[in-house]
Amino acid sequence: MGLRGGQADTEQRVIQLEQDILGVNNAIAAANRRWLRRNGILSLNLVSSPGAGKTSLLTETIRRLPDASAVTVIEGDQQTDLDAARIRETGAKALQINTGKGCHLDARMVNEAIGRLNMEPASLLLIENVGNLVCPASFDLGEEARVVILSVTEGDDKPLKYPDIFVGASLMIVSKTDLLPYVHFDIDRVTEYARRINPDIACLTLSVETGQGMDAWMEWLEKRRSTFCITAADGDPGLVPFFT
Amino acid sequence: MHEMALAEGVRSIVDNAARAHRIRGLEAVVLEIGQLSCVDPEALRFALGLALRGSAAERARIEIESIPGEGWCLACDRNVPLASRADACPSCGSHRIQPLRGTEMRVRELLLQKNRQ
């Protein structure tokens, strides 16, 4: 932070800052990521429009995992704890964050949540963001990977219309493929569009209803978990860094 | 409307600077917003009108400098203009472009009111 310009009344005094508007969020996100990594907790930030089937995918995913108690879900919604209740029915831990009028989760909300959650080391943390393809794009939560879910009823041009959410995402899941006979949705086209925005994005298609593609998704998840480096081998979980 | 959250970020940067430099009134807040960032400048301006109420920048002019997008085409090994994330390299048509400039969202500087400390 520098101060330039003289003291004379006629001169313009300037304070140079060059500070990132998201600097505080990014610092908290970095602390979240450090803590999660130290504890070997793989964290995914799931983003989509409202109604793309995030919660259904989560409940089915947890059902297929060998140990539901090794899964924790943070649910972001403007109102209600309906989603957290659906997750708890599977046996997984769930914490609901209501953002009120807020349109996205931010790193501080996730920081507070992980402080309250008592997660097991080497477990899985699934963060279901507020349904919105725009606002969550700017906010790093400290997750290991972002997963974008797009249902076939939304249209295959979404990656071009909402590019920011695809930037930096590791995986795009095209959901509700059982509805493909009833809608105009081209899987090849959506994949091509998503890779225009993000050439490295992985793409999977699935249907929670029929189970199509669920095995491939579970394999992706397992591969991610097995390659995720567990650095907390000494068993010291460390303290959650609080920023409240 | 994540611009409201961004405006609150600007507010806290302004408050911290005002405290550190004992500033009462600012004439202008100068922002740099990249063309590739996720911000609508007019929505941000509107949100700042609310977020800066009661701060040293309550009456300040908001200057938003747009930073053009630029990327590095991996295939051509050179810098190319990038107006949107969906753009292809103008020479080779590849989408494998690493953004170099235009993603910033920064408070660059604060201009103090003259005749006041």
The mean pLDDT of B90-102, rounded to a whole number, is 95
B107 at A interface, C-beta within 8 A: yes
Q: Is 60 exceeded by the pLDDT of residue A240?
A: no
CA distances in angstroms from A22 to A14, A101, A169, A173, B19, listed in the order given:
22, 19, 19, 28, 20
* pLDDT higher than threshold 70 for residue A239: no
What pLDDT, on the 0 to 100 scale, is given for residue A3?
A: 57
Residues on chain B touching A78 (C-beta within 8 angstroms): none
Q: A-chain residues within 8 Å CB-CB of B62? A: none
**Chain B contact present for A234, CB below 8 A:** no
User: In terms of DSSP bridges, do strands A124-128 and A71-77 run parallel, antiparallel, or are they unpaired?
Assistant: parallel
Mutation site for B-interface testing, chosen from A10, A21, A24, A101 by largest number of B Cβ within 10 Å? A21
pLDDT in tens, A76-128: 998 999 999 999 999 999 999 998 888 999 999 999 999 999 899 989 999 99
Domain ranges of chain B: 3-68+104-112
The per-residue pLDDT for range A160-194, each reduced to its tens digit, is 999 999 999 999 999 999 999 999 999 999 999 99
Q: How confident is the model at residue B116 (pLDDT cuts 50, 70, 90)?
A: very low
Whether residue B77 lies within 8 A of chain A, CB to CB, comes out as: no
Residue-level pLDDT at A208: 98
The tens digit of pLDDT for each residue in A194-236 reads 999 999 999 999 999 999 999 999 999 999 988 875 544 444 5
* Entry pTM: 0.89
Q: How far is B35 from chain A (nearest CA, A)?
A: 12
Helix (H) / strand (E) element for B50: namely: helix B41-51
Q: How confident is the model at residue A138 (pLDDT cuts 50, 70, 90)?
A: very high
| B3-68+104-112: CATH number | 3.30.2320.50
* Count of A-B CB contacts under 8 Å: 98
